[in-house]
Amino acid sequence: MRGGPGFTISEGCSRIEFAGKFEQQFFNELTNIMTLEHLILPESTTDHDLEYIGRISTLKTLMIQHSEHVTDEGIAFLSDLSNLEDLHLFCLKKLSDRSTETLKKLKSLKKLNLDGTAISEAAVAELKRSLTDCEIRR
């Protein structure tokens, strides 16, 4: 068992749902979990947080929702998540068409939820052409 103030991470952990505010020690531990596949992030998630999340190469599912602090710049940190299959970017109002350049790189995606973003229908159509095996919801 590892952890710090306000959190505990079990060995062999594959799923984490986090509802609090992140602290640096949490990220240091999180990026060392080699079995982590599913992560649900809180509304307090920021672009800076995504810099760490983008290092978790084992992630298959990532949910980020209702954050006012996630922008296109933060999404760019996710470009190397080559195992990511299910990405929910729900109600991230600061995401624009600029995020599609990063999203197109995520070739393993099977599901992508863009509900409540500012990504245009034209950009979604372009994503559908690039990510042919992905179900995209907007």
73-128 tens-digit pLDDT:
999 999 999 999 999 999 999 999 999 999 999 999 999 999 999 999 999 999 99
Q: How far apart are CA 25 and CA 51, in angstroms?
A: 14
* pTM of the shown model: 0.86
Which of 10-14, 57-61, 62-66 is predicted with the least confidence, judged by mean pLDDT? 10-14
In total, the chain counts a number of residues equal to 138
Q: How many CA atoms lie within 13 A of 40 on its CB side?
A: 5
Hey, how many other C-beta atoms are within 10 angstroms of the C-beta on 76?
17
C-alpha distances (whole Å) from 136 to each of 54, 96, 106, 125, 128 are 21, 15, 13, 9, 7
Any idea where the domains of the chain sit in the sequence? 2-137
Class of domain 2-137: alpha beta
